[in-house]
Structure formats: structure tokens, C-alpha cells
Amino acid sequence: MASVNRRKWGSYPSVSVVGSMLLALTVLGLFGLFVMISNNLSTAVKENIQIQVYLNKELSENQRQLIEKTLGEKEYILIKDQSPVMSFVSKETAAKQFIEDTGEDFYEFLGENPLRDSYVININYNSEQTVDLPAIKADIESISGVFEVDFVENMINSINDNITRISIILIGFSLVLLIVVVILINNTIKLALFSQRFLIRSMQLVGAKASFIQKPFLFRSSLHGMLAGLLSSIILFGILLYGQKNVPELELLYTFKSLIILFCSIIVVGAIVGLSGTYFAVKKYLRLSLDELY
């Protein structure tokens, strides 16, 4: 008797629905993971753009420390762990590095070290503000004891332009992919509920209210969406661990907090899309006449 009713009313293809939602959410999650890593990479690139501050010769230690303190108080210097990101490079260290890199010893024909003590500083790139490097250069060069400030302006401008283009492209792809995923999941749910159309009509004929009919379908679809989102998160985490095993530096481009936010977002998206798709599909079948059900 149960098998007869099952054939009559149709069975809900839960495995197929969860599988389709899992595939769609995994693709969306992969792209989200790519966007997250790209943003962190962009931040890392910006934070590692450095400028060199060359000091006058014959400065005393007190004068040098005063310059260091003044630089550290500038608002455009990157701060990490409550300390300005800057390093002092003595002229002796710079000379040693130059000789190692070029193989040329200028002591042999100059008899002295022509290089200068310097500071290498990292600029704080605030996404809400435009960093004016020429203005920063002029400000630092106005500090007493500073000889010259140097940075590769063309490279910095090129990096900023490329990051802006990539961000616009990623936003566009994200919107398109989200729309495709929503359509795919909605179509899957509609096909799944097609087998339940007679059950919906029978409940309607015995006087059940629309909210009563929709409630079990909405509950089941939200569970399916959350399950698909959870499974998708597990798959994405496995992919990330595999990638990190082959590229250890990948660990620097994400945080545990960002992963939790991404995975929770996938689960929530799965539940919301499943819920909304089921709501409109059931509502559609409630409005159909008996002839339209066949």
C-alpha cells in the first residue's frame, strides 16, 4: 500500500536536490575563496611596497634616533603590532649587500663607502583614502637630517591600477555567478516539487491552509540548503588544505576568522535560496487548476 501511494503522489528526490545544491554552492564557494585570497594578496602587496629614506652623512646617534621617532609618528606609516613597520639600514650593511649582489667592491677604486644610512618604511594603504606618495616624499624630505626619499612611482601606480581592475572584474563575476547559482538551485527545487504537486493539491482539497501546506516543504528545503552548504564548506576546506600542502605560502593569505565567515555565508545562502525557491514553487502549484497539474 505504501509503495502504491508513493508511486501515486511521487517521492521527493532529496539526494538529487542536495547534490545539485552542493555542486552550485561549491562553485560559488570556490569563487568566494578565490576572491578572499585575492583581496588578502592585494593587501599584502600594498603593505610590502616600500620607500627608502636616505639620511645626511655625519649624523649623530641622537639625530638619527630623532629622525626615527619622527618617522614613526607619521600617520601614513604602516602600523603592525602597535609598532611602525620600518627598518634601519646602515651604510656598512648596504655596502656589504651591494658587493654581494654585484660582485663589485667600490672600496678598491673609491677608497671609501659612498652609500648612506637609510630607513626602509612601509606605507599604510587605507582603502578609504588615496595615498599621495609625492606628498609623502615631500613631507619626509622636510625632516631635518633627511637627504632624499626614493620610491618606484611607476611600479606603485601600475600595482594600484591593476588591483582596481581586478577588483571590478571580480565583483562582476561574483554577481553573475550568484545569479547563476540561484537560478540553478531554484530550477532544481521546482523539478523536485513537480513530483509533489498531487500531494499539494490533495492537502488543499481537504481544507489545509496555504501556510500549513508550505511549512513542511519550507522546513525540508532549508535543511537541505544548510546540509549542502555544510558539505560544500567541508569540501572547500579540504581543497584549501590540499593547496596549502603544495603551496605553504597560501597560509599567509587567509585567516581562520575569514574562513568561518565564508563557510557560514555559504550555509546561509544555501538555506535562503532553498527556502525562497521552495516558497515560490509551492505557491505556484497552489494556484494551478487540476487540469494544469497534468
- Per-domain residue ranges for the chain? 2-43+160-293, 50-150
pTM over 0.95: no
pLDDT greater than 80 at residue 259? yes
Give me the chain's average pLDDT, please. Answer: 80
User: What top-level class would CATH report for the domain 50-150?
Assistant: alpha beta
Output the pLDDT for position 4. 38
Cα 130 from Cα 128, distance rounded (Å): 7
CA atoms within 13 A on the CB side of 35: 18
The average pLDDT across 239-266 equals 86
78 CB contacts (<8 Å, ≥6 apart)? 47, 84, 85, 121, 122, 123, 124, 125
Considering just the CA atoms, what is the radius of gyration of the chain in Å? 31
Q: Each residue of 131-190: pLDDT tens digit? A: 677 888 899 999 999 999 988 666 666 766 776 777 778 778 778 877 887 787 778 777
